[in-house]
Structure 1
Amino acid sequence: MAVKDSQEIVESIPQKGFFGHPKGLFTLFFTEFWERFSYYGMRAILIYYMYYALKDGGLGLDRETAASIMAVYGSLVYMSGIIGGWIADRLLGMKKTVFYGGLFIMAGHIALSFPGGVTALFASMGLIVIGTGLLKPNVSNMVGDLYSDKDIRMDSGFSIFYMGINLGSLIAPLIVGTLGQKYNFHLGFGVAALGMLIGLIIFLLTRKKYLGLAGSYVPNPLSVDERKSVFLKFGISILVIAGVGAVLISNGILTIDRFIMMISILGIIIPVIYFSVMYFSKKTTKTEQKNLLAYIPLFIAAMMFWAIQEQGSIILAQYADERTRLSFAGFSLQSSWFQSFNPLFIVLLAPVFAALWMKLGHRQPSTNKKFSFGLMFAGLSFLIMIIPAVYAGPDTLVSPIWLVLSFLIVVIGELCLSPVGLAATTKMAPAAFSAQTMGLWFLSNASAQAINAQIVKFYSPETEILYFGIIGGFAVLLGVILFAFTSLYKRRA
């Protein structure tokens, strides 16, 4: 289907019916709910599955390697959003791309549901990387299609959508984590696959009635000749990469450590290339070029934020398993349960922030200032972890309250930055790169985790004070700088 006028798309969607928002928000809310259930359920136990001993049902990898693989995996998941955005923009449209993405994700979780060792682990990761890249940027971008550019409900709608994401993330570690740690890791992974299946069923049953024309068009379709050229180049590239990879791996040249380093480098290079391609494209207008330049500071701030937030499932997950007293008020705890605190606080606080932005209306802080607040809170969430390190030392188990407090603080920052970043991306995206620009937003997370793959190696109980202090302090400083420059620019304007 050819590109549709945005007003025509909005008029094709029932505009009231889901908490005062378009009915299409229901479809996207629950599709993403179940996708996040599957992803975060799997991720809650994945690092433990990698470094637990074989006798405990794990793979027996060393902790540093497991932490770096977790970071690289997360990076590739979000990096693949570029491909998913391109496929939606040039080939399939967002609706079809979301559906195929869900199928890949489900297949990836099924692969982990059966014992298959490291081979099954990497096969599963590959499938989920592809599937998430197809689904995640496009389902988020479709939320923007539900509203006109002047609809003041947009930020609130993204906050509600963000709450749906985190409801799935909240429930998953409690169910998948308990099954995985208490009974069997593969049982947990199987339940994650079931979650994605439910999400696909909801999407198929409601997409036509509730989404209207949203996501059914191809914004920048390839011509017949372009399709032939692209498919030929893509096929050749896959064969070359597979052949070279096989040779390098068989000769011991491409090791896990070198692959991790390669992804870390790509995490920095790809955003630079991507911004350049969009900026210099003939299809990008001068106004859109200015928007892209204004987007760069937000992208850098988001990278720093996600570098801290994403360590919740890596460093803080290890901290929960090895440095935290796993009992509270007479109850025994599973270390994977701590992964539910981040989404729990988002579910509780997202309505508060959504209502706050609606109440403030045009008086609310600018996007840049919201980003600066997000960064400062992220830094504080790490700085707070210095306190138990100072008082308890590296050899004493600490109260679980410290981890809970850290998750709470970073969530306050996340609600200042993430849903606002989604909304800003849809507003500032060049028309010819609409879905791909959402992929660029998720690339901020990919870049952060690619860098994390190197950073997490420096963590140990003995280095906690320096580790949390340097990273947390740098985030606070960057947030202050962004706030100061935003205020200065506003006074000069």
Structure 2
Amino acid sequence: MQQQGQSDQERRADKSFFGQPRGLSTLFFTEMWERFSYYGMRAILIFYMYFSVTKGGLGFSQSTAASIMAIYGSMVYLTSVIGGFVSDRIWGSRKTVFYGGVLIMFGHIALSMPLGKIALFASIVLITLGTGLLKPNISEMVGGLYTEYDNRRDSGFTIFVFGINFGSFISPLLVSWLGMSVNFHLGFSLAAIGMFFGLLQYILGGKKHLPSTSLYPSDPLEPDDAKKLSIRVGLGVVVFGLILLLLHVMGSLNIDTFITLLSIIAIATPVIYFVIILSSKKISSTDRSRVIAYIPLFIAAAVFWAIEEQGSVVLALFAQNQTDNNVLGFTIKAGWYQSLNPLFIMIYTPLFAWLWMKLGKRQPSSPGKFSTGMVIAGLSYLFMVIPVSLFGSSALVSPLWLLGSWAIIEVAELLISPIGLSVTTKLAPKAFESQMMSMWFLADSAGQAVNSQIVKFYTPDNEVNYFMIVGLVAIVAGILLAFLIKPIKKLMEGVN
């Protein structure tokens, strides 16, 4: 086991995993299995919700199923706030990741049981909380393997993201085949098994290769702080309960209004969080400047994730309803298209990892990469305007259109996702390390919260306008960010 207080020189000398620290291997495989379970489940969940009961589904309307998918994804990343706080103040990152994995596994087990809507909503709660505990902290632990100025950091995060996508690539193929060919619940069972393997890998590898500092909170909760926290949490629960009660009395409490309420919370949370961090006495003027520099990157990321995460909602529906899935006598499962996202990332990752290592200090700044990525993301949706315009919304089109759209947006993801993870760890104040990583996932949460409202407008009559407007919004946002690169770099105080 690495010792607490390991020197910077020792960390730089650790090159036992493809030139990276050995601890990256443990975190790589743990996250690979966790993503296997999560994306395997998501590949069939929307179909499970809106397929009729006679086909093994729950019988929701398609628009309701799409909104649930979007807000579910939003809540998964919103709870990263809880995970960051628990890690920083109570358990430390290593324990927080473990308990998160346990909750995720039980969430998938709940879905594997034929208990209908009760099991669905129980699993959503368990997986939402579990992922919130695991996601920000395992990424923060990756950042902790490097010194602040270690040039391997971006390359290390790129390798880490490759592991995420390897698990994400395999799972839709296996889970979709089992879930849509045999039984949805068997598919969900396979997702549960994947998380079990992730936990096993984490326990065995963590003892040997992860720093002992990950066992302890970076900013332990004092007794007075614990009392204040209890009051705030209690007050928040009461207020939320009263809002639900008021909606019930008004006769307005239903799935749609509940989703809208959660969307408001998801969008408001990062705003409140930025205010708390910037007003904290625990950060220096340099820290404050870096957090301010992070705000436009956060907004750009939220717009990007709003498009990227629609792959499991809008593009999933397109794959099922408007794609000719019979190719040379072979039937493609609609859930298999979810593997295109990680497939292209795995293809592109070695190229980007080589490119950043080759360029070294000459590579574009993080804001520059973000700006380019935004424009490319927008182009992926403008690409989808073409088949609908040419053939109409009632025709079945070639799978190559979905293939092309994913091929484009994954270039954008390689410019934003691993770079965002890396720059977040570099800009994070010491007292808010895990919580700042939570902010990165709140960008995804905010983007999907917006999705939960706009996916309702994705209808056959409105497809061209939908793809065009969403694509243009991303392109305009990317151009605006390009004009802000210089002031952002100045605020970053030496961080690239």
TM class by smaller structure: over 0.9
Single out whichever of 207-216 and 427-436 deviates more from structure 2: 207-216
Cα separation, partners in 2 of 1:247 and 1:273, compared to 1, 3 Å: closer
Structure 2 letter corresponding to 1:316: L
Q: Deviations over 1:268-295 (max 9, x none)?
A: 2111110000000000111011001100
**1:242-321 equivalent positions in 2, closer than 5 A:** 245=244, 252-321=251-320
Q: For the residues of structure 1 that align with 2:31 and 2:245, how far apart are their CA atoms?
A: 35
Verify the 8 A CA contact 1:14 1:24 in the aligned structure 2. no
Q: Which runs of 5+ in 2 are unaligned?
A: none
SS in structure 1 of the partner of residue 113 of structure 2: coil
SS in structure 2 of the partner of residue 478 of structure 1: helix
Structure 2 letter corresponding to 1:415: L
**1:171-250 equivalent positions in 2, closer than 5 A:** 171-231=170-230, 234=233, 238=237, 245=244
TM-score where L is the length of structure 1:
0.95
SS in structure 1 of the partner of residue 271 of structure 2: helix
SS in structure 2 of the partner of residue 385 of structure 1: helix
Q: For the residues of structure 2 that align with 1:489 and 1:96, how far apart are their CA atoms?
A: 35
Verify the 8 A CA contact 2:11 2:147 in the aligned structure 1. no
CA drift at 1:241: 5.1
**1:383-402 equivalent positions in 2, closer than 5 A:** 383-402=382-401
Q: For the residues of structure 2 that align with 1:137 and 1:345, how far apart are their CA atoms?
A: 24
Q: For the residues of structure 1 that align with 2:378 and 2:447, how far apart are their CA atoms?
A: 14
SS in structure 2 of the partner of residue 215 of structure 1: helix
CA drift at 1:239: 7.1
Structure 2 letter corresponding to 1:307: A
Q: Deviations over 1:108-160 (max 9, x none)?
A: 00000011111111110000000000000000010000001111000000000
Corresponding residue of 2:350: 351
Structure 1 letter corresponding to 2:134: L
Cα separation, partners in 2 of 1:156 and 1:485, compared to 1, 3 Å: same
Corresponding residue of 2:453: 454
SS in structure 1 of the partner of residue 212 of structure 2: coil
CA drift at 1:235: 5.8
Corresponding residue of 2:416: 417
Structure 1 letter corresponding to 2:273: Y
Q: For the residues of structure 2 that align with 1:108 and 1:251, how far apart are their CA atoms?
A: 33
Corresponding residue of 1:159: 158
Q: For the residues of structure 2 that align with 1:485 and 1:438, how far apart are their CA atoms?
A: 23
Structure 2 letter corresponding to 1:388: P
Q: For the residues of structure 1 that align with 2:12 and 2:90, how far apart are their CA atoms?
A: 23
Q: For the residues of structure 2 that align with 1:276 and 1:257, how far apart are their CA atoms?
A: 30
Verify the 8 A CA contact 2:4 2:213 in the aligned structure 1. no
Cα separation, partners in 2 of 1:197 and 1:9, compared to 1, 3 Å: farther
Q: Deviations over 1:216-266 (max 9, x none)?
A: 221110123433553465467557756875786598542111111112212
CA drift at 1:11: 3.9
Verify the 8 A CA contact 1:13 1:213 in the aligned structure 2. no
Structure 1 letter corresponding to 2:223: V
Structure 1 letter corresponding to 2:33: W
Q: For the residues of structure 2 that align with 1:13 and 1:100, how far apart are their CA atoms?
A: 30
Structure 1 letter corresponding to 2:277: M
**1:34-49 equivalent positions in 2, closer than 5 A:** 34-49=33-48
2:425 equivalent to 1:435:
no
Cα separation, partners in 2 of 1:462 and 1:244, compared to 1, 3 Å: closer
Q: For the residues of structure 1 that align with 2:92 and 2:12, how far apart are their CA atoms?
A: 17
2:369 equivalent to 1:370:
yes
Q: For the residues of structure 2 that align with 1:109 and 1:115, how far apart are their CA atoms?
A: 12
CA drift at 1:477: 1.5
Cα separation, partners in 2 of 1:101 and 1:324, compared to 1, 3 Å: same
Structure 1 letter corresponding to 2:89: R
Q: For the residues of structure 1 that align with 2:253 and 2:281, how far apart are their CA atoms?
A: 39
Q: For the residues of structure 1 that align with 2:476 and 2:237, how far apart are their CA atoms?
A: 43
CA drift at 1:317: 0.1
Q: For the residues of structure 1 that align with 2:200 and 2:249, how far apart are their CA atoms?
A: 42
Cα separation, partners in 2 of 1:236 and 1:458, compared to 1, 3 Å: closer
Q: For the residues of structure 1 that align with 2:83 and 2:419, how far apart are their CA atoms?
A: 22
Q: For the residues of structure 1 that align with 2:358 and 2:182, how far apart are their CA atoms?
A: 47
Verify the 8 A CA contact 1:78 1:445 in the aligned structure 2. yes
Single out whichever of 27-36 and 266-275 deviates more from structure 2: 266-275
Q: For the residues of structure 2 that align with 1:332 and 1:462, how far apart are their CA atoms?
A: 27
Structure 1 letter corresponding to 2:151: I
Cα separation, partners in 2 of 1:10 and 1:305, compared to 1, 3 Å: farther
Cα separation, partners in 2 of 1:488 and 1:97, compared to 1, 3 Å: closer
Structure 2 letter corresponding to 1:485: L
Corresponding residue of 2:14: 15
Q: Deviations over 1:282-325 (max 9, x none)?
A: 00111011001100110010011001000000000000000000
Verify the 8 A CA contact 2:323 2:396 in the aligned structure 1. yes
RMSD over aligned Cα atoms: 2.3
Q: Which runs of 5+ in 1 are unaligned?
A: none
